[in-house]
C-alpha cells in the first residue's frame, strides 16, 4: 500500500513505514464453525469420481483440479458438511451427469448452504438445463425435493430448498429466478439487536459475530459524524446502515442486487427504522446522479463495501468530487486486490483525464477485523479523510 500510494499521491512515509496507524486485528468472537454460507462445487474427486461435491484444489493451467469434500475445515459448521454429503449422495444416484465444464454438457452444478444462529437451513441447488424440457426438469426437481424432505436427505432438516436453472457462473434472480421448491422463502439473522431478512440472492457477511464487531468498529470510527448522513454504497440487505441508523440523521443505501434492495427496505420496516432509504441499481449509475442533487443533513460520510471487483471509477469520481464529503470508510475483504486501485484513485493526484478534480483523501487509520478465522484473510476497514 505504501508503495502504491507513494507513487501517485503526496503521501510520504518514513523508511517504508505506514504514515498512518494500523490498529491490532479485532478478533472474531467465534473461531470455529462460524460460516453461515458455503458453496460447494461439483467436479472429479481424488478417486476420479466425477460426481464429487466440495471445493476445488489445483489449477486449470496445471490440469490437476480435483474436488475435495472439506470435512476437515474448522470454519464450516457440521450442518454445511451434512448437506454437502447428502447432495453428493443424491447426484451420484441421479441418472443425470454433473455439469463440470459449461460446454461439455451435464446438469448438476453447485450447491449453496445458508444457516443462521437460530438453527435454520436453506439450500440452493444450481442446475444447468442444457436441452431438457421444463417437464423433464420438473421430474428432477421433484426427486430432489423427495430426497431432501422425505428421503435420506431429511436428516438435514432443511427449512428452505431453492433451485436455480443457471447457464452462467452466477445468475441473479432477474436472470433466472430462484425457484422455491420447499419451505420458507427467506432466512433471518440478528445483528446488534436488529433483525435481517436475507433472500437467496442477497449477500450477508459470512461470520455473524464478526460482522457485529465490524459494524461496531465502523460506528466507532464514524462517531464524530453522529446525527449526520451516511451514504452506504453497496449496502446489501442494509446491514451497516440499519445497524448504525440510531446514531444517524439519515442513511442512503445503494445496491445492485434487486432482492437485496427489497430485503434492505423490508428490514428497515421490520425494525421500525424510518431514516433509511435504499436505492436499487449499479452504484456507478445511481450515485453520480444522486450525489449532487442529494439533500443531506449534518456531516456527510460514505461507507463503501464493494465486492472484490472494487468500485467503478465513476463512483470514485462522484465521491472524490463532492466537496462536503470529508470522511470515507472503505471496507474491503481483499484490500490487496481491486480495492488498491480505488485507494490510489481516492488518494492520488488530480487526474484531469478522468476528472478526479476534488481534493485527494488521506488514509488516517486502518483497522483489520478477523472475519475469516483459520484463513489468511482479514476484512480491512480503512478510514480516509481530507
Ligand atoms: C461485500 S457485500 C457488502 C454488503 C453490505 N455492506 C453488508 O455488510 O452486508 C458487497 C455488495 O455490493 C453489491 N454490489 C456489487 N457491485 C455493485 C455495484 N456496481 N453497485 C452497487 N452494488 C454493488 C453486491 O451485490 C453486494 O451486496
pLDDT in tens, 224-252: 888 999 999 999 999 999 999 999 999 99
Which of 194-208, 254-268, 343-357 bottoms out in mean pLDDT, i.e. has the lowest? 343-357
Model confidence at 356, pLDDT cuts 50, 70, 90, reads very high
Is the distance from CB of 290 to CB of 279 less than 8 angstroms?
Answer: yes
Mind listing the pLDDT tens digit for each residue in 31-47? 999 999 999 999 999 99
Model confidence at 168, pLDDT cuts 50, 70, 90, reads confident
At 342, list the grid cell: 480505488
Is the distance from CB of 212 to CB of 242 less than 8 angstroms?
Answer: no
**Rounded alpha-carbon distances, angstroms, from residue 357 to 330, 351, 352, 384, 386:** 20, 6, 7, 17, 14
Q: Could you identify the atom of ligand 1 that is nearest to the CA of residue 254? A: 21
Task: Please tell me the distance between residue 295's alpha carbon and the centre of ligand 1 in angstroms.
Answer: 23
Q: Would the annotation count 205 as a binding residue?
A: yes
User: Cα dihedral angle (91, 95, 99, 104), rounded to 10 degrees?
Assistant: 160
For residue 102, what pLDDT is reported? 80
Q: Could you tell me the domains of the chain? A: 2-29+207-385 (3.40.50.150), 37-189 (2.40.50.1070)
The mean per-residue pLDDT over the stretch 193-201 comes to: 97
Report the residue among 236, 259, 377 best suited for mutation to probe ligand 1: largest number of ligand atoms under 8 A from its CB: 236
Pocket of ligand 1 (CB under 6 A): 203-205, 234-237, 239-240, 254-257, 260, 282-284, 305-307
Is the distance from CB of 245 to CB of 276 less than 8 angstroms?
Answer: yes
Beta strands in 33-107 (DSSP E): 37-43, 52-57, 66-68
Q: Would the annotation count 305 as a binding residue?
A: yes
pLDDT of residue 261 exceeding 70: yes
Which neighbouring-strand residues pair with 273? none
Model confidence at 10, pLDDT cuts 50, 70, 90, reads low
Q: Is the ipTM of this complex over 0.85?
A: yes
Beta strands in 5-92 (DSSP E): 37-43, 52-57, 66-68
Distance separating alpha carbons of residues 331 and 263, to the nearest angstrom:
21
Contacts 24+ apart (CB under 8 A), 9-17: 9/344, 9/347, 9/348, 9/349, 9/360, 10/349, 10/360, 11/347, 11/362, 11/363
Mind listing the pLDDT tens digit for each residue in 299-327? 999 999 999 999 999 999 999 999 999 99
Overall pTM surpassing 0.90 (yes/no):
yes
Q: What mean pLDDT, rounded, does the chain reach?
A: 94
Task: Please tell me the distance between residue 237's alpha carbon and the centre of ligand 1 in angstroms.
Answer: 9
Task: Please tell me the distance between residue 262's alpha carbon and the centre of ligand 1 in angstroms.
Answer: 14
Task: Please tell me the distance between residue 357's alpha carbon and the centre of ligand 1 in angstroms.
Answer: 26
Model confidence at 12, pLDDT cuts 50, 70, 90, reads low
Report the residue among 170, 187, 211, 256 best suited for mutation to probe ligand 1: largest number of ligand atoms under 8 A from its CB: 256
Q: Could you identify the atom of ligand 1 that is nearest to the CA of residue 202? A: 27
Q: Would the annotation count 184 as a binding residue?
A: no
For residue 96, what pLDDT is reported? 97
Q: Whose CA is nearest to atom 13 of ligand 1?
A: 234
For residue 19, what pLDDT is reported? 83
Mind listing the pLDDT tens digit for each residue in 103-123? 889 999 999 999 999 999 999
Amino acid at each position: 500500500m505504501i508503495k502504491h500510494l507513494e507513487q501517485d499521491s503526496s503521501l510520504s512515509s518514513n523508511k517504508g513505514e505506514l504514515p498512518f496507524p494500523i490498529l491490532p486485528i479485532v478478533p472474531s468472537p467465534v473461531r470455529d464453525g462460524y460460516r453461515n454460507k458455503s458453496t460447494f462445487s461439483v467436479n472429479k474427486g481424488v478417486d476420479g469420481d466425477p460426481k464429487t461435491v466440495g471445493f476445488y484444489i489445483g489449477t486449470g493451467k496445471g490440469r490437476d483440479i480435483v474436488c475435495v469434500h472439506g470435512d476437515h475445515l474448522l470454519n464450516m459448521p457440521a450442518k454445511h458438511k451434512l448437506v454437502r454429503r447428502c447432495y453428493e449422495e443424491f447426484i451420484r444416484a441421479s441418472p443425470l451427469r454433473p455439469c463440470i465444464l459449461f460446454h461439455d454438457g451435464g446438469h448438476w452444478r453447485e450447491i449453496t448452504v445458508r444457516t443462521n444462529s437460530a438453527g435454520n437451513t436453506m439450500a440452493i441447488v444450481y442446475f444447468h438445463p442444457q436441452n431438457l424440457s421444463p417437464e423433464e426438469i420438473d421430474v428432477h426437481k421433484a426427486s430432489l425435493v423427495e430426497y431432501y424432505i422425505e428421503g435420506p436427505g431429511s436428516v438435514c432438516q432443511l427449512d428452505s430448498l431453492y433451485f436455480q436453472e443457471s447457464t452462467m457462473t452466477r445468475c441473479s434472480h432477474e436472470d433466472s429466478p430462484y425457484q422455491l421448491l420447499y419451505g420458507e422463502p427467506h432466512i433471518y439473522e440478528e445483528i446488534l439487536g436488529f433483525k435481517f431478512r436475507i433472500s437467496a440472492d442477497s449477500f450477508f457477511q459470512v461470520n455473524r459475530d464478526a460482522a457485529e464487531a465490524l459494524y461496531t468498529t465502523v460506528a466507532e470510527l464514524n462517531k464524530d459524524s453522529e446525527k449526520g448522513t451516511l451514504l452506504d454504497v453497496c449496502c446489501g440487505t442494509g446491514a451497516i446502515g440499519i445497524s448504525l441508523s440510531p446514531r444517524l440523521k439519515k442513511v442512503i443505501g445503494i445496491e445492485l442486487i434487486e432482492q437485496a434492495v427489497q430485503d434492505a427496505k423490508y428490514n428497515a420496516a421490520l425494525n421500525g427504522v424510518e431514516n433509511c432509504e435504499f436505492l436499487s441499481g449499479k452504484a456507478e449509475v445511481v450515485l453520480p446522479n444522486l450525489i449532487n442533487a442529494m439533500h443531506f443533513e449534518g456531516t456527510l460520510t460514505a461507507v463503501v463495501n464493494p465486492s472484490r471487483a472494487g468500485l467503478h471509477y465513476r463512483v470514485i469520481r462522484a465521491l472524490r468530487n463532492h466537496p462536503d464529503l470529508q470522511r470515507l470508510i472503505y471496507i474491503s475483504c481483499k484490500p490487496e486486490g481491486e480495492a488498491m486501485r480505488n485507494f490510489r484513485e481516492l488518494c492520488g493526484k488530480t487526474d484531469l483525464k478522468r476528472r478526479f478534480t476534488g481534493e485527494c483523501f488521506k488514509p488516517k487509520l486502518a483497522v483489520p477485523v478477523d472475519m475469516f478465522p483459520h484463513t489468511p484473510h482479514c476484512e480491512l476497514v480503512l478510514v480516509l479523510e481530507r
